Structure 1
């Protein structure tokens, strides 16, 4: 087991990758759009046009955040928050889906959230603050000795294929990187964060759920949360989207690769074959450790990796049904 500075990795083990396919018997229920009448959308319209991707003010050169380029995107619709536990539970109840973490029997939990009964759990070499916890899953994020997952929280311990299957069932998909950044900017243009350019700090400005204090031992939780926050917490950006910075890493549709033909870029892409791209950072990010809660920041991980700070958000190519109403459970605007 290894990982980047941001997330632990199962390492792309061949046995784990082979387990990514949905179990026989429920494939018909997970076909594209099968849950469109069951999943309760809570989304907003994102206007298309010229979108910015990357930055000319890079902070982590090794991630090739620069240069900033322009791309055209079409109109799309994006969930206001990351997929919640309640939304994912509806998917599981409708299809019988079993996540990869459940099939493999374990997932990664941050050390300060590990129940006392698991105090001797195996750590990750080089990332000792992560622990392998048997039985940690989307509905028991700390393992069987921890509390059940709360409905309003982002669903975590989600592998890339789990996220893709939910999105297809819901009639949507995972976003492309340019779509994710376009949505995160909220109409503000070339900004560092969804709210603008002001940096969060450890004193009096906490607009998102990240780490405050001395990582990895002391989390002051000045933003109100020691772990994940509800999917609709903190002020939304200009498009009405919550937690595009911090809270949980979000899987995207794309492989992790850098936009560079340099020798270093080619080496990174060769070493990253098979990895998928994640955006947004998490509640464990801090400027001194993992300054990846900026819009242009990015990381990659093997698609079989699951952890307590990794989830996803769904986008849609089609508008919701005409005249949606909150009574029907659809809140798209």
Structure 2
């Protein structure tokens, strides 16, 4: 995160001045690429479960925004016509239950587990968890590194997801998301696919349902209410994550494309995305040497999270973009999957 970009979105591991890495140099992740997730590590194609997916036809749509509401430094525009091939997309983000099945069958260890810590929103910490704090994110004291915070223990060692199995999995890095997709026979969506799906067939609207955040006073997504970061009133029914199928789906039947948790995309992040990528099936550069991914490669995220508020981040709009490094994990980043055709 730069000094002028609110760290409420999601801090990167190098944002923490005091949290140290306990990660071993060895890694059980294959070197991920933009196409990762299409085959298993053994080269055998996995048949994906598409029962909770929606197939979207090939189409063109106006991607990005020229609105003054957008963040110029994020490269939200200029808006342009983009074409995507047909694909199927998960109707909701990957759940804790689904990620548990992946871990149980593969023995996978996440980046947060290898590092020994992950970022947790400070208000969620218990007295016991506060004893495991190893640092703060630079410029955003509400983000703290907590030893033992993982996808299974989202707020630290004395927490569990056992009563949140239908919530989106969090504390997963881009590397972890790619590994899950490889196992499931799926892949991460490109930014263009993500926005095409999130818009639900609506052209130019700010949100999947229109331009008003709360049409008719109805809460349509899980974001922050109140004054950030001091108090979340929880008027939408949630403080922290909500079930993946909370609120009404968009026009394509997709739940929570905005709010709840950020969703990793396949693309490398570049503020010049709209000016440098192709008009058909665009994909941002992975970054790193020769375009290969590295842990400090910036990856794109979409959709905002339960910590977004118009007074601070305002990145829960369908055209909004954010970024983080491929090995970073926080309590407000998850992902959903797609398959070709």
Q: TM-score, normalised by structure 2?
A: 0.82
CA, structure 1 residues 20+178, in 2 after alignment: closer, same or farther (shift >3 Å)?
farther
Partner of 2:225: 212
Partner of 2:93: 82
Partner of 1:164: 178
CA, structure 1 residues 200+192, in 2 after alignment: closer, same or farther (shift >3 Å)?
same
CA drift of 1:72 comes to: 1.2
CA drift of 1:191 comes to: 1.1
Distance 2:258 2:62 in 1: 17
Distance 2:318 2:337 in 1: 17
Distance 1:57 1:35 in 2: 42
Where 1:163 maps in the other structure, the secondary structure is: helix
CA, structure 1 residues 2+118, in 2 after alignment: closer, same or farther (shift >3 Å)?
farther
Partner of 2:59: 49
Where 1:62 maps in the other structure, the secondary structure is: helix
Partner of 1:10: 13
Partner of 2:322: 299
CA drift of 1:174 comes to: 0.4
Partner of 2:283: none
* 1:99 and 2:113 are equivalent in the alignment: no
CA drift of 1:119 comes to: 2.6
CA, structure 1 residues 104+295, in 2 after alignment: closer, same or farther (shift >3 Å)?
same
* 1:119 and 2:122 are equivalent in the alignment: no
CA, structure 1 residues 31+138, in 2 after alignment: closer, same or farther (shift >3 Å)?
farther
CA drift of 1:66 comes to: 1.4
Where 1:8 maps in the other structure, the secondary structure is: coil
1:153-302 correspondence to structure 2 within 5 Å? 153-200=167-214, 204-259=217-272, 274-302=297-325
Distance 1:198 1:32 in 2: 46
CA, structure 1 residues 312+32, in 2 after alignment: closer, same or farther (shift >3 Å)?
farther
CA drift of 1:103 comes to: 1.1
Q: TM-score, normalised by structure 1?
A: 0.84
Where 2:98 maps in the other structure, the secondary structure is: helix
Where 1:107 maps in the other structure, the secondary structure is: strand
- Decide which of 135, 143, 150 is 1:130's aligned counterpart: 143
Structure 2 unaligned residues grouped into runs of 5+: 31-38, 276-286, 289-295
Distance 2:214 2:22 in 1: 41
Distance 2:157 2:53 in 1: 33
Partner of 2:29: 22
Count of equivalent residues = 306
CA, structure 1 residues 198+15, in 2 after alignment: closer, same or farther (shift >3 Å)?
same
Deviation track 1:129-180 (CA, whole Å, cap 9, x = no partner) reads 0111111111111111123352101000001010011112111110111110
CA drift of 1:2 comes to: 8.1
Partner of 2:339: 316
CA, structure 1 residues 249+261, in 2 after alignment: closer, same or farther (shift >3 Å)?
closer
Distance 1:17 1:246 in 2: 34
CA, structure 1 residues 35+156, in 2 after alignment: closer, same or farther (shift >3 Å)?
farther
Partner of 1:139: 152
Where 1:128 maps in the other structure, the secondary structure is: strand
CA RMSD of aligned residues (A): 3.0
